[in-house]
Amino acid sequence: METKNAAGRKEKQIILASASPRRRELLALMGLTFQILPSEKEEIVTGSTPGEIVENLSFQKAEDVTARLPWTVREDGQEPDAIVIGSDTIVVCDGEVMGKPHTQEEAFAMLHRLQGRSHVVYTGVTVMCRAADTITYDTFSESAVVTVHAMDDAEIRGYIAKGESMDKAGAYGIQGSFAVFVDRIEGEYNTVLGLPVAALYQVLKRYL
């Protein structure tokens, strides 16, 4: 006998394949109960467009975690379906992909390049569902244009000194004190944060 929830659907176990605290907060915002199991596989950048690149990276993460999932049969002999969510974000300026800075000077160079103009943030998401004998998945990407006010060198150094640059693509986090430098965005705000929750919700509705 299958275990069903109130809506009569089979129970699903949700796993977030990311260690990012921002993605964890956003997924929690959706009211979902989930576990965290970050992908450990080395990422291989493939794809000819930014959208393809983040879609492929999100797929690699979801696939790695799905493959490593333990099969835990419960007391009723039933294994809940597992839904794994992989996600990846890049910043693109003048067609060049920006990753995370490794030094404060790299962070300075990135922010100096991003200030006073627009760039694009791409986030790819893969939702992978493992049932008893099948694996199905959806992959999509969203982008948002972010326009940053002009920043002088003192403002850039002041921001970096706050310690919010080092673990973020493009060397900034839009949800923190960098907000004072963001002129406008066009797209879903949460795409910039690393998880386009509205688009994800539309996909998850089909699985849950």
Q: How large is the greatest C-alpha to C-alpha distance in the chain, in angstroms?
A: 65
Query: Looking at 2, 40, 105, 186, which residue binds its own copies (CB under 8 A)?
Result: 186
Q: Which of 22, 170, 21, 18 is nearest to 92 (CA)?
A: 170
For residue 88, indicate whether it is catalytic. yes
Q: How far is the CB of 111 from its own copies (least distance, A)?
A: 15
Residue range at the interface with its own copies (CB under 8 A); choices 84-92, 103-111, 125-133, 172-180:
172-180
Query: Looking at 97, 182, 207, 208, which residue binds its own copies (CB under 8 A)?
Result: 182
Pick the catalytic residue from 76, 81, 88, 133: 88
By the 8 A CB rule, do 162 and 132 touch? no
In the complex with its own copies, the residue whose CB is nearer, 106 or 164, is 164
Residue range at the interface with its own copies (CB under 8 A); choices 79-87, 88-96, 121-129, 184-192:
184-192
Q: Check residue 156 for interaction with its own copies (CB under 8 A).
A: no
Cα–Cα distance for residue pair 84/176, rounded to 1 Å: 28
Q: Check residue 19 for interaction with its own copies (CB under 8 A).
A: no
Which of 158-194 are b and which e, b meaning 16 or more Cβ less than 10 Å from the residue's Cβ?
A: ebbeeebbeebbbbbbbbeebeebeeebebbebbbbb
So which residues are the catalytic ones? 88
